Amino acid sequence: MSTTIDVAAVSPIYPGSVDAAGRMATLGVMGGGQLGRMFVHAAQRLGYFTAVLEPDAQSPAGLVSHHHIQTAYSDPAGLAQLAELCQAITTEFENVPAQALHTLAQTRPVAPNAAVVGIAQNRIEEKAHFAACADVSGVTCAPYAVIETSAQLQAVQADRTDLLPGILKTARLGYDGKGQVRVKTTEELAAAWAELGNVACVLEKMLPLTAECSVLVARGWDGQVVSFAPQRNVHVAGILAVTHAYEGAMPPALAGRAREAAVAIAQHLGYVGVLCVEFFVVEDGSEHGGLVVNEMAPRPHNSGHYTIDACDASQFDLQVHAMAGLPLPQPRQHSPAIMLNLLGDVWFDANGQPQEPDWQAVLRLPGTHLHLYGKTQARAGRKMGHLTITGPDVATVKTMARRVADLLGLPGLDVI
C-alpha cells in the first residue's frame, strides 16, 4: 500500500522562521512521555518552538515544551488548539487515536499519518502488511493465526497445532511484554484467550531465537530515506534491558538484510518520519533464512536512544528533519555504544525499600551518559531513564557497561 501525500502540499518549515502573525515556527507532538521529551529537546535545539498535547499535567515532555495542551488525545478543542499553534505534528507513541491524527491532518502535515499508525496499533493488520510486502522486503513474520472468535479458536485448536508452542498476543495495546501469554497446548491456548478477555488476538509460533535486533529508518516527504545500522537488543521480562550498537554486534550479512528490509517496509508504507522495525534472529538453516520481522513502531524507539550520544545525528534529530521537510543527513556513528535501560527497580533495594542509585560512582566512570526522564515517582518496571556508555573501542565500552550494570544491579549483565 502507499499512503504518501502530495509532496507539493508540504513546504519546508525552517527553524527560526516566523509566520505572518509573528509566531515562531512551532512543531507539535501528540503524547507527553520521554520520547516526546527527547523530540522536544531536539526541536528546540534547532530553534523551533514546540507544543505537546498530553492529559498528564506532569508529563516529561509537557514540562519542557513551550506549550502544553492538557487535554485528552481525542478532545476536539485540544486538537484545534494544537493545529492552530503548529506548522507540523507528529506522535511519540503508537496508541494515540488514529482518528485524532486524521483530524489534525485536515489542516496540518502529520507524520506519520493516521493510516500507518492504525496499522501499527493492530497486530493483525501489522502482520498482514509484513506478509504483503515480503516480496520486496525479503523477510516475513513468524507463522501465525488470527483469533477473534470462538470459531477461530476452535479451528486453530483443530488444524493449527503446528503453531504450538506459541505466544498469544492481544491485537491492540500490548507492549513491554503486556498482553502476551505463552502457551504449549490447545488447553492452555483456550485458557489464555479467556484470561486476555476473549479480545482479538494473534497466536504466533515460537521460533528458535538466537538474538533480537532493530533498525531505525527515517523517511522524508520527498521519499528520501536514511537509516542507522541495526542494533542488537536484549529483553528481560519482555522489556528492553540492553542495546548493543557497534560494529560486530550483528553478523554483517544479517545486519545488511535487516537494514534493507526495514527500508523496504518504510517505502511500502509511504512512511514519513522515524520508523523502528524489530526483527528476530533465528537459528541458521531455518526456513526463514535467519531473519523474521517481529513488529514496527511508528516513532523513535527505546533501542535508538544511544544515537543521542554516539552519532552525529540522533533519531530525534531525524524525526524533526523529516516532519519539517528538511534534508535528511545520513547519520554517522562516531563511537561504539551500549545502552542500559533504567527501570524503577533501580530505586529500590533487595528488600523493596527506596534507595537513591549510586550516581556518584556511575558518573565517575568515563564515557557514561545519564538520561533521566523527569518522572517523579519510581515504580517497578517503569522506564525512568537510560544510560549510554561510549568509548574508543568495543572492549572499553563493554568493560564500562559491566561496571555500571554491577553498580546499579541491572539485569542483562551476563550478556553484555
| Residues of the binding site for ATP | 123, 169, 174-180, 204-207, 212, 235, 294-295
Q: Which residues, other chains included, contact 34 with Cβ-Cβ below 8 Å and sequence gap of 6+?
A: 60, 61, 373, 374, 375, 383, 385
Residue 254 DSSP symbol: H
Dihedral in degrees, nearest 10, Cα atoms 110, 112, 116, 117? -90
Q: How far separated are the first and last CA of the chain, in Å rounded?
A: 40
Evaluate whether 117 touches 3 at the Cβ level (below 8 Å). no
DSSP code per residue over 194-240:
HHTTS--EEEEE---EEEEEEEEEEE-TT--EEEPPPEEEEEETTEE
Angle formed at CA 60 by CA 75 and CA 245, multiple of 5 degrees: 120
Please give the grid coordinates belonging to residue 305. Answer: 536512544
What gap in Å lies between CA 382 and CA 378, rounded to an integer?
7
What gap in Å lies between CA 111 and CA 323, rounded to an integer?
6
Q: Do strands 88-91 and 26-30 pair parallel, antiparallel, or not at all (unpaired)?
A: parallel
* Distances, alpha carbon 260 to alpha carbons 245, 257, 292, in Å: 18, 5, 13
Around 241, how many Cα atoms within 13 Å sit in the side-chain half-sphere? 20
Annotated binding residues, written as ranges, equal 123, 169, 174-180, 204-207, 212, 235, 294-295
Give the chain's length: 416
Dihedral in degrees, nearest 10, Cα atoms 117, 121, 122, 126? 50
- Of 291, 294, 229, which is closest to residue 263 (Cα–Cα)? 229
Neighbours of 388 (CB within 10 A): 24
Kindly report the backbone phi and psi dihedral angles of residue 325, in degrees, each rounded to the nearest multiple of 5, phi listed first. 75, 25
Dihedral in degrees, nearest 10, Cα atoms 33, 35, 41, 42? -160
107: phi > 0 → left, psi -120 to 50 → alpha, else beta; which? alpha
